[in-house]
Structure formats: structure tokens, C-alpha cells
Amino acid sequence: MGPKLEVSINFVEETQGKAIITNPEHSLRANKGESDTVINP
């Protein structure tokens, strides 16, 4: 998960957006903040 986390952190820092690291099965729950890894500015 290291490369995914690094890219996600860079994305959040550059865009002030939200990054979610998940898989397709959990995408709806992750978007609600209920599972997986969410990185906010």
C-alpha cells in the first residue's frame, strides 16, 4: 500500500481534495467515510 498512500498524499496536498484508497466492492461505503482509507486536507 506504500505507493498508493504516497500518491494519495501528494494528490491531497496539491489539490486540497479528498483521496480514498479502497476497492470496487467498498467504494460506496468508503465515499461515505464508513470504511477503508480516507485522506483529507
Rounded to two decimals, the pTM is: 0.73
Per-residue pLDDT reduced to its tens digit, 16-36? 999 999 999 998 888 888 878
Q: What is the pLDDT of residue 1?
A: 66
Ranges 2-11, 15-24, 31-40: which has the least confidence:
31-40
> Quick one: which of 24, 20, 26, 27 has its CA closest to 4?
20
- Cα–Cα distance measured from residue 21 to residue 38, given in angstroms and rounded to the nearest whole number: 6
DSSP run (H or E) holding 38:
strand 37-39
Q: Is the four-CA dihedral 18, 21, 23, 26 of positive or negative sign?
A: negative
- Cα–Cα distance measured from residue 32 to residue 40, given in angstroms and rounded to the nearest whole number: 13
